[in-house]
Structure 1
Amino acid sequence: MKDWIPLITELIWPTLIGFLIWWNKKWFVEFLDIIKKRVEEGGEIQLGPAGFSVGNAPLLPASVNPDDMIDDGSELENSQDTIPDEPSSNAIADKILLSHRTAFWKIKNGRAYYKIFITTHADNQETKSKIQKVVYHLHPTFKNPRRVISSEENDFLLKTNGWGEFVVRAEVYLEDIDEPVKLNRYIDLNP
């Protein structure tokens, strides 16, 4: 029995990993199909201290297909507001920026979905205190592409989820200023 203990201890991890793959085989097959598709499309494979990545996530389409709509549960607003064209360029706009982070969420209908967190930052407390609300304009494939965040909590954080990369546009409304500050940020899905 003493001779078997090293063999058993060496087999525990491979057996556990094999069992987990078998238990989640549907998800694992979908995951491998996504990797295969990205490699076939010419995506680079990177492995390093930051993790493992295969190519980029797909770009969201220019035209909206009803099958591609992203329904993240947000309520639809009836608004005819236009999406801001170009980012603002002035002294106040230089003090405000957008940032984002993403995290893999799940695979749905053969697509990898990511949680997306977008925030607005100011370079000082005085500018931050003047922000009244932020209107985020997401890609048209979102069921509700216009999101208004009026809560200062977490730097006007917008939480959503999606499956493709896109440019988010934002209008930052400040007290005592008539025109909103317009910002853009490319949302990539590299976790």
Structure 2
Amino acid sequence: MTTSEVISLVQAIIWPTFALIVVFVFRRSLIKLLSAVEKRIDSGAEVTSTWVTFGAVPSNLKSPEGNAPVTDSHLALIHSSWRYPKKDAEYKRPMYTFHVVIQATDEVLDRIESVKYSLHPSYPNPIQIVTDRKSRFKLKELAWGESSVRAEIKIKEQEQTIKLSRYINLTQSGPRI
């Protein structure tokens, strides 16, 4: 074996070994961090870990002042998901249900005319328009895999629509929204 081959071998071994040592030394903090991420995803509440804080579902969204237009800073797209085993046999795989709603003040929600949701093209009905203000323009769907949902929000008496998107992760038992 040549010297350069020995050096390459040592380099190939050192970084993974170093990474394993770091993981071992900081395992408690890493477990705490991963637990915080899991709790945040499952609950939607603010979770603090050693190195990072995961924010709560937006509750500090403001209404536009006066007759100012509604913008994406006045709205948020939030979701929750949970296992839905009643549909497993029908679809021959583990199924989940997810709900997506618009988070905003009542004044902003009152100004929304409709929300056009765009799902992955594999859905039988990938474009869905929701006009139900009382439900916060809720979209209800089944899923077997994670994907993104896009929302185009039409505001009454406002030409420009607002576009938001949300990555839909699937959890075992998310909160009902």
Q: Offset at 1:91?
A: 6.3
Instruction: Write out aligned runs for 1:120-139 (5 A).
Output: 120-122=102-104, 124-139=105-120
Q: Distance in 2 between matches of 1:119 and 1:156?
A: 6
User: Once superposed, what is the RMSD of the aligned Cα atoms?
Assistant: 2.5
Question: Which deviates more from structure 2 when the two are superposed, residues 104-113 or residues 148-157?
Answer: 104-113
Q: What SS does the corresponding residue of 2:159 show, helix, strand or coil?
A: coil
Q: What SS does the corresponding residue of 1:120 show, helix, strand or coil?
A: strand
Q: Which residue matches 1:9?
A: none
Structure with the higher helix share, 1 or 2: 2
Unaligned 5+ runs, structure 2: 1-33, 40-68, 173-177
Q: Which residue matches 2:137?
A: 156
Q: Which residue matches 1:21?
A: none
Instruction: Write out aligned runs for 1:103-182 (5 A).
Output: 103-106=82-85, 107-108=88-89, 109-122=91-104, 124-182=105-163
TM-score (norm 1): 0.51
The one-letter code of the counterpart of 2:164 is L
Runs of 4+, deviation exceeding 2 Å: 46-50, 107-110
Q: Offset at 1:110?
A: 4.2
Q: What SS does the corresponding residue of 1:153 show, helix, strand or coil?
A: helix
**Greater RCO (CA < 8 Å, at least 6 residues apart):** 1
Q: Distance in 1 between matches of 2:70 and 2:102?
A: 16
TM-score (norm 2): 0.55
Note if 1:98 corresponds to 2:77.
Answer: yes
Kindly provide the CA deviation profile for residues 35-55 of structure 1, in whole angstroms up to 9, marking residues without a partner as x.
xxxxxxxxxxx88996xxxxx
Kindly provide the CA deviation profile for residues 95-153 of structure 1, in whole angstroms up to 9, marking residues without a partner as x.
1110000110022454211011110111x222121001100000111000000001112
Note if 1:185 corresponds to 2:166.
Answer: yes
Q: Distance in 2 between matches of 1:47 and 1:110?
A: 30
8 A Cα contact 2:114 2:129, kept in partner? yes
Closer, same or farther in 2 for the Cα pair 1:149/1:187, shift >3 Å?
A: same
Q: Distance in 1 between matches of 2:35 and 2:73?
A: 36
Q: Distance in 2 between matches of 1:174 and 1:155?
A: 14
Q: What SS does the corresponding residue of 2:135 show, helix, strand or coil?
A: coil
Aligned length: 107
Q: What SS does the corresponding residue of 2:171 show, helix, strand or coil?
A: coil
Percent identity of the aligned residues?
28
